[in-house]
Structure 1
């Protein structure tokens, strides 16, 4: 089954970056509810406490309290959260070789994208990601 409906979770500590991503998502005609959490700890609490379906998680890498890698390790280590199979992509300026390697080799992520300074390029990337996951067969639809 495809999961077209579901919240889009943005985990981002920079309000300007969050606004740009949110604007891009809305400009693409998406009507999915957008949920914003400013760090991994807030996101983890939301994921553990909410019964709402999640279409996708866009997560920054560097954040205070709990960074993206720490959050993804905890999601992967939690049987309930792991079973939800929520698509998780890193969307970050911190696209270092070591971060990318760790994300793909030790964690179960579905993509790693570098934040762009070009609005149209950002729009194109986000559109591709959302369309892919809206049309992907998913176990928890």
Structure 2
């Protein structure tokens, strides 16, 4: 994890991508944003990038490879698992079964997308502040 590394946003909804991107821009973070429309695209990026991502924000329900499948792929790959990139679900899907399934893997949070822009921005600010303050296995590299 690099505090100034890119934030990875994986979400198939282009409107949600736009809104989350706008929220992150409003927060004036130094982190670049990398956008992907499904888990397979995000997975390919993680396998091939030379960047050290700061955080993964991932939707749950997506075509091709959903967020739960992506998390399983990361956990199953020693190279990706060793990167220890914080993985946070950000989704409109917030039912008990989905949340329980998400926490069967190694995730670092599950948040419901907020309906109001300011609430969503505040939520993102809280997530990012936490991870910028938190000690992490890669904090010592």
TM-score class, shorter-chain normalisation, is over 0.9
Residues 59-138 of structure 1 aligned to structure 2 (within 5 Å): 59-104=58-103, 106-138=104-136
Whole-angstrom distance in 2 between the partners of 1:111 and 1:83: 18
Corresponding residue pairs, total:
139
| Equivalent residue number for residue 4 of structure 2 | 5
- State the Cα deviation string for residues 26-70 of structure 1 (Å, max 9, x = none): 101112110001000000000000020111000001111000000
User: What CA RMSD, in Å, does the superposition of the two structures yield over aligned residues?
Assistant: 1.1
Q: So what's the TM-score if we normalise by structure 1?
A: 0.95
Q: Which has the higher contact order (CA 8 A, sep 6+)?
A: 1
What is the Cα deviation at residue 140 of structure 1? 2.0
SS at structure 1 position matched to 2:137: coil
> 1:61 touches 1:67 (CA, 8 Å); kept in 2?
yes
> 1:4 touches 1:135 (CA, 8 Å); kept in 2?
no
Unaligned 5+ runs, structure 2: none
Whole-angstrom distance in 2 between the partners of 1:26 and 1:134: 17
Q: So what's the TM-score if we normalise by structure 2?
A: 0.95
